[in-house]
Amino acid sequence: MNDEFDEVEDAADFAAVPDAFQRLWTPHRLVYIQDGQEPDDDACPFCIAPTKDDEKTLIVARGTHAYVLLNLYPYNTGHLLVCPYRHVALYDDATRDEIDEMGTLTQTAMKVVRSISNCDGFNIGMNQGRIAGAGISAHLHQHIVPRWALDSNFFPIIAKTKALPRLLGEVRQQIADAWPK
């Protein structure tokens, strides 16, 4: 056994003021927040993806200034990201053309996902900067997360598991096929 993990601290012994919040510890996400762990600009996954095969990189649609791809670690089935091709970190650093196309691609993505999945709503947003929770803060990207009225269940609570009923490749193909040409 690894000595580093031989002893588990009891959360009750932590120096903190008790409150009503439950904590979800996700140490696997530490790589996204540690200094120096974000990919170098030349290894940015959002810069690399458009240079490769759409099927392999989960790209569903391409525009002139931006493109749409499935999130590799989705919150829900059909969780999409809209990214400019240009390596730019913040929304206010993007050009008017990039912002306009990201908006148009977001509208189209909503229509396509709604038509194939019958979702009831969407969470749409951007985490700007590492402190705001951006996993890849150096490259602007917008999340489009479909939601269903009955998509809550006890699986994440009891089994600590998120049920995603379809494989990413299947979802990518269905969205790409339904995308207007």
Q: Where are the domains of the chain?
A: 40-178
pLDDT digits (tens, 9 = 90+) for 86-120: 999 999 999 999 999 999 999 999 999 999 999 99
Q: Is the pTM of this model over 0.85?
A: no
143 is catalytic: no
User: How many Å apart are CA 106 and CA 148, to the nearest integer?
Assistant: 18
**Of 4-13, 62-71, 73-82, 155-164, which gets the smallest average pLDDT?**
4-13
Instruction: Specify the CATH superfamily of domain 40-178.
Output: HIT-like (3.30.428.10)
Query: What value does the mean pLDDT of the chain take?
Result: 82
Provide the token pair at 170. Answer: 């299947």
Count CB neighbours of 162 within 10 A.
13
Q: Which H or E run contains 173?
A: helix 168-178
User: How many Å apart are CA 177 and CA 181, to the nearest integer?
Assistant: 9
Q: Which residue of the set 79, 139, 141, 143 is catalytic? A: 141
pLDDT digits (tens, 9 = 90+) for 110-160: 999 999 999 999 999 999 888 888 888 899 999 999 998 877 655 555 556
